[in-house]
Each structure stands twice: as structure tokens, then as C-alpha cells.
Amino acid sequence: MQFLRAVAIAVIHFQLVASTPASIQDLETTCGALGVMKIDKNTLPQGVDPDHVRKCLNHPESLLRERSEGQVFKRECWNGAKYGCSKNGYCWRQCGTGGEWCWAADDGGYGAWIRCTKFEDCSDSMPCGQGNCKDCGCSC
């Protein structure tokens, strides 16, 4: 009986440790230059799962732009296809009439950046990334 009690206590302890959110320092280490997504879960739009909000704020391709020389990867207006898959495997879509575009993200734009291997994996109805970051929203 004591053995079963000890096992039950160990299981409960493990569940508590496993469900404890990562510390901000851990997230800052993980996300680095992308920044940490900081959002009040009570302000999320209806239908957005708070457990699916991405941990890192900015889009991974922003690191490629920052490392490049000059303005080669500057976010420019795009008047071509309505949506597509970047060469690094992320969905984007047009979102305005003047060539504005956005990176697509799950869960109403607050979740993970949507990955792809071909343009057919993406669509023009995917939500734009949200979260008060330089890579969020619709712009060029």
C-alpha cells in the first residue's frame, strides 16, 4: 500500500513539473533575437486557444533579413500571386490592395507560423500573424 502511495505521489509531482510553463529567461534563451511573445491571454479573440499561442514573437525569416547586407530582403510590396510558400518554407499571403502582404500564422494569427513545402499548402484565407511585432499584420 505504501508503495502505491509513493508511486501516486511521484506521478502527481511529475505532472505538476511537466505542466509548469517555461520561465521568461528560458523563453528568452530559446527565442533569442526573435523576442518573446508576451500577450495577456484574457485579451485573445474568441476561438484562439491560449495554449497554442507561439512562444517567439517575430517571424524566423526576419533573422535572415537582419543578417543580409543592405536592403536585399527588405519587405517590399508584392503584386504577384495572392499567396505562396517562401523558399524557407513559410506561408505568406496578400492582404491589401496596394501590394501589402503578411506571414500566415495559426490560431487567428497568434499561433505558430504556418509551414509549407509548396504554394498549394498555403491559401489566401490564412490569418495574418498577430502580436505587436515587426513581422505581424499586413504591410509592405
Sequential DSSP letters for 11-71? HHHHHHHHHSPPPHHHHHHHHGGG-B----GGGSPTT--GGGS-SB-S-THHHHHHHSSTT
> What pLDDT score does 65 carry?
58
Count of domains observed in the chain: 1
Of 10-14, 59-63, 107-111, 133-137, least confident by mean pLDDT is 10-14
In terms of residue numbers, what domain contains 83? 25-40+47-63+73-121
Q: How many CA atoms lie within 13 A of 74 on its CB side?
A: 7
Residue 79 maps to a domain: yes
Q: What average pLDDT does range 81-106 have in this prediction?
A: 94
Q: Is residue 33 part of a domain?
A: yes
Sole residue written with cell 526573435: 34
pLDDT tens profile 11-34? 333 333 333 355 767 888 999 999
**126 is a domain residue:** no
Question: Does residue 5 have a pLDDT over 50?
Answer: no
134 domain-assigned: no
